[in-house]
Structure 1
Amino acid sequence: MQLFSVPRRGYIWLQTFTVLLVLCKSGVFAGNATKACKLASDNISEKKVLERLEPLANNVFKANVTEGKDSYTYVFQLCGDAGGVQNAGVIQVNNNDKKKTVIGLYNTTQAIGGSDWVMLIYGGGEKYDSHCNGEKRRAIIMISCNKNIVMGQLEVILEDRDRANDCFYLFELDSSAVCPAVQSHLSAGSIILIIIFCLVAVYLIGGFLFQRLIVGAKGMEQFPNYAFWVEVGNLTADGCDFVCRSKNREDSPAYRGVSTEPAEEEPEERDDHLLPM
């Protein structure tokens, strides 16, 4: 027997809330996932570099390497326990005996970044047995920009242990997370012109459809606010005529010798005195 029923809309909201709760718990929306990494130096620039790697958090990267009869799996996790080992950022797993060796800890992190790359350094790993004067292991993860890959494949480049000190493991990873942000090439003036053009287009198209379909106008009357724009055109023409013309249209003609006023009638000359008497 059904004790109660959940409305369909309420059921959808319940499912959505459950999914969001699971995602938050798993860290998908964790904006501070990289805060688990403890920087060796409290440097603001290194913190900003580390924040660029936020999309890579809560992901496990693996790489397999075979050296003769030995086979190893390297596990890297950004600011997380790699392979379930506490505080381990990078570990080495011997596939023969499943022994785990900590290469670097994320609580001794260094982050160095450029415009399209980030170099992550995990120190404080387990000590070498007979190499590098028994110093602690160190992992260097070079993350390079690749706009076509969100999270690439982890690759082992080399293990440099044939020196007296400063030995390291070098890893490489491609990701779009370290790529520089694409800047818009449009200026503020261009954006304003585009907005004005779009508004004018909406006005003309919308007004045309309204006049034709709703009002039933034909011909030039389909143009929105046709009477207003005709009047604006006439007023503009009159203004240009007033400003640009230097003489009145009723001024005298171009020929200065011609007078516009009617000539006065000359008195009739009489030549009677020239007749013989």
Structure 2
Amino acid sequence: MKVVYSHGGGSFLVWTLVVQLVLCGSGVFSTDSTKSCKLLIETESERKVLNRLEPLANKNFTAVTMVGTESYTYVFRLCGDAGSVPGAGVIQYDSKKPESKPTMIGSYNATQAIGGSDWVMLIYTNGDKYDAHCSKEMRRAMIMISCDKKVDVGQMKVVLEDRQRLQDCFYLFELDSSLLCEVVQSQISAGSIILIIGFCLLAVYLIGGFLYQRLIVGAKGMEQFPNYAFWVEVGNMTADGCDFVCRSQNREAAPAYRGVATEPLEEEQEERDDHLLPM
């Protein structure tokens, strides 16, 4: 039997494949998201904290640590199967025994989420049981995710494994990311907007006037300044006004004040020189 495909049907199949590839690349068909995490106690506040971590979904984070002569590799995935281990949020590999079965440190099916303004503490519980420590209780992973504006997503670090107690033992990890930083919205006041507009208009006036005076009028030197004569006159008038208002003395010295005597001056006795004449 011979099957014939029309040209239109072939184009439809090609476009269908293209759309599917785009959707897969954008994560629409991905099942990993914060909704995959199951909270121990479903509350709206913890769900909101988890939603803040949505940009970190679909990513694996690894860390290597040395404990004496032993070396371990940890893999963390947000609300997804770490290392393709079903239900595992954090797993541990023995670096010296890569063929050995990984240990599940915590499950995202038993999650707790605590958050502040610039940090989130993610807790995965119900991991594999300890062999001889912590009363053989289930392992627990605590991932401290903090805001760091310098990095997009930093390197995960192993802080410690606290197993020197009878119960409530835990593994503590650190992870920095700018995706967790609070977005600060800048607000410009009306006064700032007016100042910005004023500076822009002033710049246009100065640059446009300068080009006009230089290229069209052919002015040189200070005369290239737009409306130079007007501004010079304004400057002189301003200086005169400041001088008139601010100075305590007149610019021209006033004649000295002389008092007027209340009593008439005695007439000086006229000196006669008749005696000097020859007789």
Q: 2-side partners of 1:42 and 1:201: how far apart?
A: 59
Structure 2 portions without partners, runs of 5+: 209-279
Return the match for 1:98 from 100, 123, 126: 100
**Structure 1 residue 198: Cα displacement:** 7.0
Which residue is equivalent to 1:72?
72
Q: 2-side partners of 1:115 and 1:79: how far apart?
A: 21
Q: 1-side partners of 2:55 and 2:136: how far apart?
A: 35
Matched to 1:102, the amino acid is M
Return the match for 2:173 from 153, 171, 174: 171
Q: 1:157 to 1:32 in 2, by over 3 A?
A: closer
Find the residue that maps to 1:172 and give its secondary structure.
Answer: strand
Which residue is equivalent to 2:18?
18
Larger gyration radius, structure 1 or structure 2: 2
**Structure 1 residue 183: Cα displacement:** 2.3
Partners of 2:32 and 2:58 within 8 A in 1: no
Task: Give me the identity figure in percent.
Answer: 63
**Structure 1 residue 171: Cα displacement:** 0.2
CA RMSD in angstroms, aligned pairs only: 3.9
Does the alignment pair 1:182 with 2:192? no
Deviates more, 1:148-157 or 1:180-189: 180-189
Find the residue that maps to 2:143 and give its secondary structure.
Answer: strand
Find the residue that maps to 1:83 and give its secondary structure.
Answer: helix
Q: 1-side partners of 2:177 and 2:28: how far apart?
A: 18
Does the alignment pair 1:88 with 2:88? yes
Partners of 1:49 and 1:113 within 8 A in 2: yes
Return the match for 1:141 from 143, 151, 156: 143
Which residue is equivalent to 1:48?
48
Partners of 2:32 and 2:80 within 8 A in 1: no
Q: 1-side partners of 2:194 and 2:135: how far apart?
A: 66
Which residue is equivalent to 1:39?
39
Q: 1:32 to 1:68 in 2, by over 3 A?
A: closer
Matched to 1:18, the amino acid is V
Matched to 2:77, the amino acid is Q
Find the residue that maps to 2:45 and give its secondary structure.
Answer: helix
Which residue is equivalent to 2:274?
none
Partners of 1:89 and 1:122 within 8 A in 2: yes
| Alignment: residue pair count | 205
Matched to 1:107, the amino acid is N
5 Å matches for 1:195-274? Answer: none
Find the residue that maps to 1:104 and give its secondary structure.
Answer: strand
Return the match for 1:120 from 115, 119, 122: 122
Q: 1-side partners of 2:203 and 2:33: how far apart?
A: 47
Find the residue that maps to 1:48 and give its secondary structure.
Answer: helix
Q: 2-side partners of 1:124 and 1:39: how far apart?
A: 12
Deviations 1:8-62 (A, max 9, x none): xxx9xx78x8377345456279798211111111111111111111111100000
Q: 2-side partners of 1:31 and 1:136: how far apart?
A: 27
Matched to 1:64, the amino acid is V
Which residue is equivalent to 2:214?
none
Q: 1:200 to 1:23 in 2, by over 3 A?
A: farther
Which residue is equivalent to 1:59?
59
Matched to 1:139, the amino acid is A
Find the residue that maps to 1:150 and give its secondary structure.
Answer: coil
Q: 1:141 to 1:190 in 2, by over 3 A?
A: same
Q: 1:24 to 1:191 in 2, by over 3 A?
A: farther
Which residue is equivalent to 1:155?
157
Deviations 1:163-219 (A, max 9, x none): 1111000000010121111221423564577579879999xx99xxxxxxxxxxxxx
Q: 1:196 to 1:46 in 2, by over 3 A?
A: farther
Which residue is equivalent to 2:226?
none
Find the residue that maps to 2:113 and give its secondary structure.
Answer: strand
Q: 1-side partners of 2:201 and 2:192: how far apart?
A: 14
Partners of 1:133 and 1:164 within 8 A in 2: yes
Q: 1-side partners of 2:193 and 2:38: how far apart?
A: 43
Deviates more, 1:26-35 or 1:93-102: 26-35
Partners of 2:32 and 2:79 within 8 A in 1: no
Q: 2-side partners of 1:190 and 1:32: how far apart?
A: 46
* TM-score normalised over the length of structure 2: 0.61
